[in-house]
Amino acid sequence: MKTQVADLTFELSIPYAAIEKRISEIATEITSDYSGRIPVMVGILNGSFLFVADLVKQIEIPVEVTFAKLASYYGGTSTTRKIRDDFDLTIDIKGRDIILVEDIVDTGNTIHYLIEKLYTREPASIAVCTLLLKPQALERTVPELKYTGFEIPNDFVVGYGLDYKELGRNLKGIFKKV
Ligand code: IMP
Gap from CA of 132 to ligand 1 centroid (Å): 9
* Residue 90: predicted pLDDT: 80
Cα separation, 178 vs 175, whole angstroms: 9
Going by alpha carbons, the residue nearest to atom 10 of ligand 1 is 104
Could you tell me which of 49, 44, 10 has the C-alpha nearest to residue 118?
44
pLDDT at 118: 93
Ligand 1 midpoint to CA 124 (Å): 27
Whether residue 154 is preceded by a cis peptide bond, meaning omega within 30 degrees of 0, is: no
Q: Does the annotation mark 106 as catalytic?
A: yes
21-72+87-177 is a CATH 3.40.50.2020 domain: yes
Catalytic residue of the set 103, 106, 155, 163:
106
Q: For residue 90, report the phi and psi dihedrals to the nearest 5 degrees.
A: -85, -20
**Residue 89 has what pLDDT?**
83
Specify the ligand 1 atom closest to the Cα of 107.
Answer: 3
Paired with 12 in beta bridges are 175
Q: What average pLDDT is seen over the chain? A: 93
The Å distance, Cα 133 to ligand 1 centre, comes to: 9
In degrees and rounded to multiples of 5, residue 105 shows phi and psi of: -110, 120
pTM for the predicted model, two decimal places:
0.94
Question: In this structure, which residue's CA is closest to atom 9 in ligand 1?
Answer: 104
Ligand 1 atom index nearest CA of 103: 10
The pLDDT assigned to 72 comes to 56
Whole-number Å distance between alpha carbons of 52 and 65: 8
Q: In terms of Cα–Cα distance, which of 139, 62, 72 is closest to 102?
A: 72
Q: Taking a C-beta distance cutoff of 8 angstroms, is the pair 18, 117 a contact?
A: no
Contact (CB, 8 A) for 100 and 128: yes
pLDDT tens, 98-118? 999 999 999 999 899 899 999
Does the beta carbon of 109 sit less than 6 angstroms from any atom of ligand 1? yes
Cβ-contact 149, 7 below 8 angstroms:
no
pLDDT < 50 stretches in the chain:
none
